[in-house]
């Protein structure tokens, strides 16, 4: 496209009210599984443009429910508005990080400065950086987005917007390795029937397993069994959690390709960037169709720059919380977009927990494929509305203020503040 036509297209897009993008646009994965729009008309989120006075964070709190032990993060503004998210999956192991780093960083601060506060955390507390640190920070960052949305009575997708798709296609994500292939396929079969999803993901190999399997032949048995049970119409993803080196990984990739698996997630140990790069390059040289994905354990933006500029993965999977929250995810997405990589976030949750992921996916121009929905339902022992569930394989983005979930104030009576 020449410059004039491009400028005209951008001008035409700019003239369309942002809300128009959210009307009736339902993107579905195409033949290559890609959900993509030709341009990114999103402005960078500047909270100062949405609020004309400070939104002071009075307290940043971590709670655990008494019934199911669910960690919840709550931030409360000086005006008494609450922002709430379920804590990180590592919340209980990182209570001290929260107390030492998150509370002093955010308590008393103006929430409108969120991007700057996160930037300062990266600079000033860098000696403690790591997945536990960023998990502690990332969960508060998400809660502050909710607080800002509830204060302004706007959906977080509005801040991130425009909404490119309101209905997100999800996959049933099995997280078990301690079951037999038959039992796991039966479990997924039941969940597929209940939810109408058209994609499933299973675990293969042994977690960080030095080329071993949890039991002999399990990996091929579960993949071949899935294909036989569900037929060619089912999309299959496989997650190795760093089980293989580059040599074994290539063998496994060829086997997965034979069964028409679409995605090979975290094939090699995540910290061995060169090994992952070597495997991806070998897979591309063989012209296999399956895509390589990874990045769920990576939090450093500098390392993300290496991973993206070296095209280590076809599909990037930063975690919303482990990578340090929404602003850092947006940075990672921009780096990946420069290399034309695809986006499929890591967020192994279900129900109301996935609301922030839905908002980010709904506004992501490089969104790829089906998104994660954990097959075994968490017990959400707090009263909230709406209750999110896949319908005919899709979950609809909740459109209320913040992340779109209302919590019953009574939940704090059945929870302990840490």
Please report how close the Cβ of residue 189 comes to Mg ion at its closest, in angstroms: 22
**Residue closest to Mg ion (Cβ):** 239
Please identify, using beta-carbon distances, which residue of 72 and 236 lies nearer to Mg ion. Answer: 236
Residues 6+ apart with CB under 8 A from 299: 129, 130, 131, 134, 322, 323, 324, 328
Q: Exposed (0-12), middle (13-18) or buried (19+): which is 123, by Cβ within 10 Å?
A: exposed
Please say whether the beta carbons of 257 and 283 come within 8 A.
no
Please identify, using beta-carbon distances, which residue of 89 and 211 lies nearer to Mg ion. Answer: 89
Please report how close the Cβ of residue 188 comes to Mg ion at its closest, in angstroms: 16
State both tokens at 5.
Answer: 């036509």
Residues 6+ apart with CB under 8 A from 124: none
Please report how close the Cβ of residue 241 comes to Mg ion at its closest, in angstroms: 6
Please identify, using beta-carbon distances, which residue of 89 and 229 lies nearer to Mg ion. Answer: 89
Please identify, using beta-carbon distances, which residue of 110 and 239 lies nearer to Mg ion. Answer: 239
Please identify, using beta-carbon distances, which residue of 61 and 239 lies nearer to Mg ion. Answer: 239
HSE (CB half, 13 Å, CA atoms) of 264? 33
Residues that bind Mg ion (CB under 5 A): 239
Please identify, using beta-carbon distances, which residue of 151 and 174 lies nearer to Mg ion. Answer: 174
Please report how close the Cβ of residue 325 comes to Mg ion at its closest, in angstroms: 19
Please report how close the Cβ of residue 124 comes to Mg ion at its closest, in angstroms: 31
Please report how close the Cβ of residue 204 comes to Mg ion at its closest, in angstroms: 11
Please report how close the Cβ of residue 202 comes to Mg ion at its closest, in angstroms: 11
Count of residues in the chain? 418
Please identify, using beta-carbon distances, which residue of 248 and 374 lies nearer to Mg ion. Answer: 374
């Amino acid at each position: 496209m020449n410059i004039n036509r491009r400028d005209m297209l951008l001008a035409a897009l700019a003239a369309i009210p942002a809300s128009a993008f959210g009307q009736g646009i339902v993107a579905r994965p195409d033949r290559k599984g890609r959900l993509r729009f030709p341009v990114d008309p999103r402005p960078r989120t500047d909270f100062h443009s949405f609020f004309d006075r400070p939104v002071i964070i009075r307290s940043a709190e971590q709670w655990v429910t008494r019934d199911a032990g669910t960690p919840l993060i709550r931030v409360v503004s000086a005006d008494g508005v609450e922002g709430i998210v379920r804590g990180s999956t590592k919340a209980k192991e990182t209570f001290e990080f929260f107390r030492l780093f998150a509370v002093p960083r955010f308590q008393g601060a103006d929430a409108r400065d969120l991007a700057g506060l996160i930037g300062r955390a990266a600079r000033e507390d860098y000696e403690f950086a790591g997945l536990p640190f960023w998990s502690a920070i990332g969960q508060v960052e998400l809660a502050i987005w909710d607080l800002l949305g509830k204060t302004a009575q706007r959906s977080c997708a509005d801040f991130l917007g425009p909404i490119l798709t309101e209905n997100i296609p999800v996959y049933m994500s099995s997280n078990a390795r301690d079951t037999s292939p038959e039992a796991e396929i039966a479990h997924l079969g039941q969940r597929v029937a209940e939810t109408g999803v058209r994609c499933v993901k299973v675990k293969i190999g042994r977690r960080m397993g030095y080329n071993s399997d949890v039991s002999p032949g399990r990996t091929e048995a579960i993949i071949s069994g899935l294909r036989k049970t569900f037929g060619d119409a089912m999309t299959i993803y496989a997650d190795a959690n760093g089980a293989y080196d580059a040599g074994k990984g290539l063998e496994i990739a060829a086997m997965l390709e034979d069964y028409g698996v679409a995605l090979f997630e975290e094939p090699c140990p995540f910290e061995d960037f060169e090994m992952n790069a070597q495997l991806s390059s070998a897979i591309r040289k063989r012209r296999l169709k399956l895509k390589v994905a990874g990045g769920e354990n990576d939090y450093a933006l500098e390392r993300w720059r290496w991973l993206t500029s070296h095209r280590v993965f076809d599909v990037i999977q930063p975690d919303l919380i482990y990578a340090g929250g929404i602003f850092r995810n947006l940075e990672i997405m921009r780096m990946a977009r420069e290399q034309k990589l695809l986006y499929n976030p890591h967020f192994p949750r279900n129900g109301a927990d996935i609301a922030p992921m839905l908002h980010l996916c709904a506004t992501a121009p490089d969104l790829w494929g089906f998104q994660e929905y954990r097959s075994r339902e968490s017990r959400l022992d707090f009263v909230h509305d709406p209750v999110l569930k896949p319908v005919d394989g899709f979950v609809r983005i909740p459109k209320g203020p913040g992340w779109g979930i209302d919590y019953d104030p009574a939940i704090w009576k059945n929870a302990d503040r840490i």
